[in-house]
Structure formats: C-alpha cells, structure tokens
Amino acid sequence: MANLQTQLLELILLTATSLPSDVENALQDAAEREAGGSTAQNILNTIIRNVAIARKNATPICQDTGTPIFHVRYPRSYSTIELKNIIHSAVAEATQKHYLRPNAVDSLSGQNSGNNLGDKYFPEIHFEEHSGDDLRITLLLKGGGCENVGCQYALPDARLKAGRDLEGVRKAALDTVFQAQGRGCAPGFLGIAIGGDRATSFLASKEVFLEKMGEHHFDPAIAALETRITREANQLDIGPMGLGGQTTLLGTHITGLHRLPASYFVSVSYMCWAFRRRSLTLTYGKAFYD
C-alpha cells in the first residue's frame, strides 16, 4: 500500500496541474468562436496559455486547489479504513510538497489545519464497492469561487414562476447562471440534480462532474434540456469571467433522483473553467492515469 500513496500523490499533482483534454478542447473551441480581439477571446486565450504553463511547470492551474473530492470504486478485497488512511497521508504529503494549498479551515476556531486534513468530510471521500478486480480513484478539485455560486431550489418557486417540471428546471438553471455572473469563473459547467433530499441532491449534482464533456443523458428529453440550458445561458452575454461574450457555459449535465412526494429539489452545482478531474486505475498491478 506504500506504493498506492505514491500513486495517489501523482494523481493529486496531475489533477492540480494538468487540465483534462476534453475540458481544454472545449476552451479552445470557445476561443475560436468568440470575436477576434474581443475581451472574451483575450480572456480565453489567457486561460489557455495559463493551462499550458501550469502543465509545463507542474504548478497548480489555480491557487485555489479547492475541496479534494475522491470517488473510490474498490474491489471486495480492499479495506476502506486503509484506503482512507492512505488518501489522508497522500493529501497531507501533497500539501507539504505545495501541490495543494492548505485549504482546510476549522469554522469554529478559524484555524487552518495546514495539511488539508479536517473533519470526517475533509477531504471528501466517497466509497463504492464493486464486483470487478480494479481499483479506480477519481479526484475532483473544486474551488471555492464556483462552490459559492451553486444554488438549490425547492420547486415550485414563485419568484421564478418555476413549476415541478423540466420547464421549471430550465428556469432554475438559468437563474443560477445569471446570479453567478462571472463569480464562478465562467465559462463554467453545470451539474444539475432533480429530486433527492437536500443533501443527496447536491451530492448527485456534483457526481455528474465525473462524466466527460459532451456526454449526454440517455433520455433524449433530458439530453435536449442539457443542450438547451447551455445554449440559452450563452445568450446571456455574461461571457468569460463575466466581462461579456458568447461563452458563459461549456456544458450541462442533468441527473434525476427519487424524491418524496412533498419535495422537488433542483440542485445546481457550478464548476469553474478550471475543471480539474483525473482518475487513477490500478489493474493487475499496473497503474493508469487518465
């Protein structure tokens, strides 16, 4: 397992410093679409240049290395206690090596723990046992700026005239994008969960960030709504960093959860353009990163 700590350290470095290619391609395409010489295009080009420098120098893309969110799919033979301990050790070591900024602040005392370890939810780890032989660990680093602009709605919502249907979901999603303006570090990505209770709804809204850009929901009606929300958000002229332009969102993912008859939550999580998502897969003694 000592080897696993080294592999996790590599995963953390890769996630913090190297944007996944699907996200980088989406930024490139957006830069080409914006008017030549516009503020929007200049900002996107600056972002793309920064991504290249971070990768070349192996330094963080963004100084806010965010909440480390681990999703672990493990075979039956593994112990989650051991896995958790190794993840904690790797996170502390990564912080010491300046791959991660010390980001865990005790809300009651105001003290920064200095090593990114905090209560039982920091770092955030989600375990799922599966019947296969491989161990797959996906890490998301989600910064505070975009986390602050996420919204949860309990439909119906009188202010938005949003009912308990997909039209209501559309209104809620566009409202979140409008409220966020540039503060979530646009262009962003929306993760939307419909249903659940308040906690599971937000949780599921972030799970969709594990999917690659351009993937869509299997239900054509939901897939069409994903596309429509992205298209309409881009008509708001909020643009990169909120300084105007055609690119406010790069994508939208929607998922549905069972709910109580009395509740209809729509949880909208916002991911900034620095969409840091990487995976480590261990299979037959070999490690793969993607």
Partner 1 sequence: MTESPFSLTAPLTDEAILALHSGDNVLLNGVIVTARDRAHQWLHERFIRQTIVPTPEDQQVYNALKAYLQNGLIYHCGPLVEKSPDGSYHFIAAGPTTSTREEPYQAEIMQHFNLKGVIGKGGMGAQTLQACVQTPAAYFHAVGGTAALTARAVVEVLEVFKLEFGMPEAMWVVRVKDFPAVVTMDAHGQSLHEQVLKRSQNELERLIG
Three-state secondary structure of 24-42: HHHHHHHHHHCCCCCHHHH
Q: Which one of 71-79, 179-187, 190-198, 280-288 is the stretch in contact with partner 1 (CB under 8 A)?
A: 179-187
Question: Residue 277 Cβ, how far from partner 1 at the closest point, in Å?
Answer: 15
Q: Which one of 102-110, 121-129, 132-140, 262-270 is the stretch in contact with partner 1 (CB under 8 A)?
A: 102-110
Sheet of 188-194, strands arranged across:
151-154, 265-271, 188-194, 249-256
> Residues in the chain, how many?
290
| Token code pair at residue 275 | 């969409």
Question: Residue 171 Cβ, how far from partner 1 at the closest point, in Å?
Answer: 4
Count of residues that interact with partner 1, criterion CB under 8 A: 57
Contacts of the segment 223-230: beta carbons below 8 A, 24+ positions apart: 225/166, 225/169, 225/170, 225/254, 226/251, 226/252, 226/253, 226/254, 227/252, 228/170, 229/170, 229/173, 229/174, 229/190, 229/192, 230/190
Residue closest to 217 by CA, chosen among 273, 255, 166: 255
Does 108 bind partner 1 (CB under 8 A)? Our answer is: no
Does 145 bind partner 1 (CB under 8 A)? Our answer is: yes
By beta-carbon proximity to partner 1, the closer residue of 69 and 169 is: 169
Question: Residue 275 Cβ, how far from partner 1 at the closest point, in Å?
Answer: 10
User: From the list 25, 28, 59, 200, which residue makes contact with partner 1 (rule: CB under 8 A)?
Assistant: 59
Residue closest to 135 by CA, chosen among 177, 74, 183: 74
Give the distance between the most distant pair of CA atoms in the chain.
Answer: 56
> Which amino acid belongs to residue 56?
K
User: Which of positions 222-281 make contact with partner 1 (CB under 8 A)?
Assistant: 232, 235-239, 241-244, 272-274
Task: Please report the sign of the dihedral spanned by the C-alpha atoms of residue 278, residue 246, residue 168, residue 216.
Answer: negative
By beta-carbon proximity to partner 1, the closer residue of 110 and 261 is: 110
- On the 0-12 / 13-18 / 19+ scale of CB atoms within 10 A, 75 is middle
User: From the list 136, 142, 170, 253, which residue makes contact with partner 1 (rule: CB under 8 A)?
Assistant: 170
Q: Which one of 7-15, 170-178, 249-257, 262-270 is the stretch in contact with partner 1 (CB under 8 A)?
A: 170-178
Does 198 bind partner 1 (CB under 8 A)? Our answer is: no
Question: Residue 103 Cβ, how far from partner 1 at the closest point, in Å?
Answer: 7
Q: Which one of 50-58, 73-81, 134-142, 208-216 is the stretch in contact with partner 1 (CB under 8 A)?
A: 50-58
Distance CA 167, CA 60 (A): 39
Question: Residue 36 Cβ, how far from partner 1 at the closest point, in Å?
Answer: 9
Q: Are strands 188-194 and 249-256 parallel, antiparallel or unpaired?
A: parallel
Question: Residue 97 Cβ, how far from partner 1 at the closest point, in Å?
Answer: 9
Residues that bind partner 1 (CB under 8 A): 37-39, 42-43, 46-47, 49-50, 53-54, 57, 59-65, 98, 101-103, 105, 110-112, 114, 143-145, 148, 160-162, 170-171, 174-175, 178, 181-183, 185, 232, 235-239, 241-244, 272-274
